Structure 1
């Protein structure tokens, strides 16, 4: 096996940790048409490409991979579709990494693929297994870093990571084929950074816990009771808008609602994992929103945020163009996220798309002085009424 082909296998681990179909499509395009471009034909792995098109670079394969890549890009922008992708990516990404590696191997050394199929020895399968296992590990490393941002997508952080992932998945295969050694080095450094960040996050999470005064086991500093022994906590800490504990003592009356707003259990502050408004806490067993009075109180608690957010949105809206970004982040984080985090997959989809179309019209007036100040609070109210209505119907009517 040649060095460029070995580097291709190693580099694909970093590529497919981000996307499944886009790197495969770009790789197939490069193998099919790269040798026909004079200044690329002798670069990196392309100098070893023989007898294309193959099954991986055929017209049908390119059309199918292109459609799947396009669907992947679109699905990444739709929260409901992205949730489905996240469920299957753990299996899909390693499978596509192996398929792409075999496609590259077939385009550069058909005899090697023939031996792999006919002999089926362990050593022959070792590179393929390494690609599959490496991709699975990379996906698992990436998951704990990216997953916490799902709850705070209203900040735009996950969307930014989405664009970076698209860029990585689109340009990475080109760089890997043309500059394999440099690209693998960059991928290796990126994986190293991810491991460091993962350990840092885990370390900070453990440092943030405090021992229960009754049983001594570590609990969240914002918890009202220990999930293990059920002992009440006398002085829980307040919870921040992103779900992080603060150093200030909490208001016991409002803390349960604050915790639910950041998708945490109102008793033990453990993070909820499901999308539905009614779900059990995995730590203490508390069933969210089974109490109708608590559900009504939660909606009233979020309602009380509306005047302040609308006033702040008005002030930010007075700044043409530049004010819209912090304004949208503010109202989505404070008003919309407490409901949106609990909406099931696909629920209220038509209503939300209708709201988005109305927002496009309002954005058109944001640059106009004074009118821009009214446009942003109108956007906040329109969004809030829509999400509140869907959420209220789920917990009080259905």
Structure 2
């Protein structure tokens, strides 16, 4: 086994931890047609009868890569395959990297055994386990980003997805040109992500407030202690990204409604795991939409709707930018609080219809933003509010 082959196998580990099919397609295409890659004209391609160089295999991997790139931009699709990817990526890594071994290397490896184990399989086993671990790390990091921007209102998910696509393509070319450098860079990136995760956990722990009665640690925006239900004396406001604000809460009822709009328990402030509108908090047992009741939540959203719609009218006089800013603000404060309580998958066609409306209103907003922005917000708000009320009604009747 050559040093180049070892570097190629190790260097492809982070690529497969990001995507399942894109690095597989790039690898198969490179092994079949190395002359299309700058500086690789002297590399001998795989034999035409090799499985991975078959045209139908390349077309299949190419099609799956395209679907993977498109699907990862959708929050619903990404959540649907999130768990399966953790297992698919190591399998894809194992199957593709077997193609790096040429016939001469295979003959040598048949004669060289380390304690009755083929060194190739030792390396591939370690690599497969590494892909599995990194894919899990990536899944947890994506989940962390989704907790910050669950509905992708600030496009954090889409930006991250495009960045991952770019890293796979860039990393692949870096791998075939300077494999050692690529391994060093990705090792540094992984170490940085692990550091960020640990730092965030420590910061979150430091922000917790101790209950004056039972000494239980609580989230900084908890209204009552998660353990003894004692009212907290210092309650911090919650930001649009779910972060703690320095300002303290002045109106508890308004704060509880704000927690509900983030799909958090209005008592202990913990994140609600289910998207069902009627549920109990698993941390403190509070019945959601019991206090404050459902009607107060809808009234609160209606008040926001009137204010934001009027604001969007004046903001719409700024060409293009006014419409975009109005849409983002409405997405965060009006639509997202309703969407958080609608199970994923049940609103697929609604979202398709809204994307179509967004495109039409954006074209109109280029010149007539002061009309397009309020009309767009009013229509979207009506659609999501109706969907939310239908969901709560169906739960009650069932």
TM-score for both structures, normalised by structure 1: 0.89
Aligned equivalent of 2:100, options 104, 110, 115: 104
Query: How far apart are 1:231 and its partner, in Å?
Result: 2.4
Partners of 1:136 and 1:279 in 2: CA distance: 34
Partners of 2:30 and 2:310 in 1: CA distance: 53
Q: Residue 16 in 1 paired to residue 16 in 2?
A: yes
Q: Corresponding residue for 1:76?
A: 72
Partners of 1:106 and 1:261 in 2: CA distance: 58
Q: Corresponding residue for 1:39?
A: 39
Q: Corresponding residue for 1:241?
A: 240
Q: Corresponding residue for 2:348?
A: 349
Partners of 2:104 and 2:379 in 1: CA distance: 57
- Equivalence map 1:31-180=2 (5 Å): 31-35=31-35, 39-42=39-42, 47=43, 50-52=46-48, 54-105=50-101, 109-111=105-107, 121=117, 123-151=119-147, 152=149, 153-180=152-179
CA deviation profile, 1:161-187 (whole Å, cap 9, x unmatched)? 111112222332233123212222221
Query: How far apart are 1:258 and its partner, in Å?
Result: 0.7
CA deviation profile, 1:337-393 (whole Å, cap 9, x unmatched)? 11222221211221221122122111112121xx21221222222221111111111
Q: Which moved more, 1:231-240 or 1:215-224?
A: 231-240
Query: How far apart are 1:210 and its partner, in Å?
Result: 1.2
* Unaligned segments of structure 2, at least 5 residues: none
Partners of 1:154 and 1:145 in 2: CA distance: 18
Q: Corresponding residue for 2:187?
A: 188
Partners of 1:113 and 1:379 in 2: CA distance: 65
Partners of 1:193 and 1:347 in 2: CA distance: 37
Partners of 1:301 and 1:111 in 2: CA distance: 73
Partners of 1:336 and 1:107 in 2: CA distance: 59
Partners of 2:260 and 2:349 in 1: CA distance: 26
- Please give the secondary structure, in 1, of the residue aligned with 2:253: coil
TM-score for both structures, normalised by structure 2: 0.89
- Please give the secondary structure, in 1, of the residue aligned with 2:246: strand
CA RMSD of aligned residues (A): 2.6
Distance 1:236 1:176, change over 3 A: same
Q: Corresponding residue for 2:330?
A: 331
Partners of 1:127 and 1:278 in 2: CA distance: 50
Distance 1:293 1:187, change over 3 A: closer
CA deviation profile, 1:116-175 (whole Å, cap 9, x unmatched)? 9xx983744221122122122222333343323224111111111111112222332233
* Unaligned segments of structure 1, at least 5 residues: none
> Would you say the 8 A contact 1:51–1:107 is kept in 2?
no
> Would you say the 8 A contact 2:22–2:65 is kept in 1?
yes
CA deviation profile, 1:268-312 (whole Å, cap 9, x unmatched)? 1111223333344232233434x3971222122112111222233
Partners of 2:300 and 2:179 in 1: CA distance: 55
> Would you say the 8 A contact 2:28–2:52 is kept in 1?
yes
Taking CA–CA contacts closer than 8 Å with sequence separation of 6 or more, which of the two structures ends up with the larger relative contact order?
Answer: 1
- Equivalence map 1:314-329=2 (5 Å): 314-329=313-328
Query: How far apart are 1:205 and its partner, in Å?
Result: 0.9
Partners of 1:108 and 1:278 in 2: CA distance: 64
Partners of 2:268 and 2:109 in 1: CA distance: 55
> Would you say the 8 A contact 1:223–1:269 is kept in 2?
yes
- Please give the secondary structure, in 2, of the residue aligned with 1:324: helix
Q: Which moved more, 1:373-382 or 1:51-60?
A: 51-60
Distance 1:325 1:187, change over 3 A: farther
